[in-house]
A and B are shown apart, each in its own frame.
Chain A
Amino acid sequence: MNSGILQIAEKYLRWLFLVFAIFALFRGHNLPGGGFIGGLMAAMAFVFRGFAYSADEVYQSMKIKPETYLVIGFTAVILSFVPGMIAGKTFFEGVWLSADLGQLGLLKLGTPLLFDIGIFLVVIGVTVLFLFSLKRSD
């Protein structure tokens, strides 16, 4: 399915997907979204790419391989447990940092966010692995 139109459209659409995925990831704590949804959305970007090019082409052009996504994702998940342990709380308890950014509002950064980013990366890695394993096998 090497269609030129799809290839050109994909060039722009994939950024749209990725940006929207990250947006969904970060708003997840308060509004619909989160790691799972963001990860699946980002995976859609790769689905499009997979339709536009052959699987091997896509795999070659990926700077970060899906297995690496898994590794980074799990590292993030595990790292998110560390602050809680250092702070002497129970194992999974969240730790939050808040910074008042004046006009921009209150920024809250916590370990659950890091955990969510980990899920996000793992889901991307998993779905991309599924897709390319099944697609490449012809």
Chain B
Amino acid sequence: MEIIMAIFVGILYAAGVYLLLRRSILKFIIGILFFSNATNLLVFLSAGLIPGGAAFVGEKSANGTVLTDPLPQALVLTAVVIGLGVVAFTLALKYKYFEVSGTDDLDEMKQEKSETNLKEEK
């Protein structure tokens, strides 16, 4: 089971890298999301896997019951919400960029930069 999950993480990372290398900004943002998903999963898996045992304690004591490690869960939970924030922000940036430049191509960014440089030099 674990090896399947590990391979799944690898595939997510591979997809993330591939999408990050695209010129289209929309694909790039999907890449960011895959990358953060893969990382979340990696942190979660690194705690060791115990199917079913949720991290809840009783009123007396936690002895004897097998619990999953709560710490990575807490970390990943915040990471998920932060991921939402990052994606929203890049989407807004991308939208603004599209509005200004009228293109979805990341390479155009470079050309525009050099054009403005040329203008300044003149």
Contacts and interface: CB of A to CB of B under 8 A. Distances in A.
Interface string B73-117: 000011001001100100110010001000000000000000000
A130 interface: yes
A77 to B, nearest CB: 14
Interface in A94-138: 123, 126-127, 130, 133-134, 137
A133 B81 contact: no
Contact of B85 (A30, A31, A126, A137): A126
Given A134-B95, A137-B95, A36 B88 contact: no
Contacts of B84: 127, 130
Contacts of B77: 36
A129 to B, nearest CB: 9
Q: Is the interface of A mostly helix, strand, loop or mixed?
A: helix
Contacts of A36: 77-78, 81
Contacts of A130: 84-85, 88, 92
A2 B95 CA distance: 24
B81 A123 contact: yes
- Contact size class for A? 10 to 19
Nearest to A34: B77
Contacts of B56: 30-31
A123 B78 CA distance: 11
A31 B58 CA distance: 11
Given A40-B81, A134-B95, 18 more contacts: A30-B56, A31-B56, A36-B77, A36-B78, A36-B81, A123-B81, A126-B85, A127-B84, A130-B84, A130-B85, A130-B88, A130-B92, A133-B92, A134-B88, A134-B91, A134-B92, A137-B95, A137-B99
Interface of B: 56, 77-78, 81, 84-85, 88, 91-92, 95, 99
20 contacts: A30-B56, A31-B56, A36-B77, A36-B78, A36-B81, A40-B81, A123-B81, A126-B85, A127-B84, A130-B84, A130-B85, A130-B88, A130-B92, A133-B92, A134-B88, A134-B91, A134-B92, A134-B95, A137-B95, A137-B99
Closest 10 pairs (CB-CB, A-B) = A130-B88, A36-B81, A134-B92, A133-B92, A36-B77, A137-B95, A134-B91, A126-B85, A134-B95, A123-B81
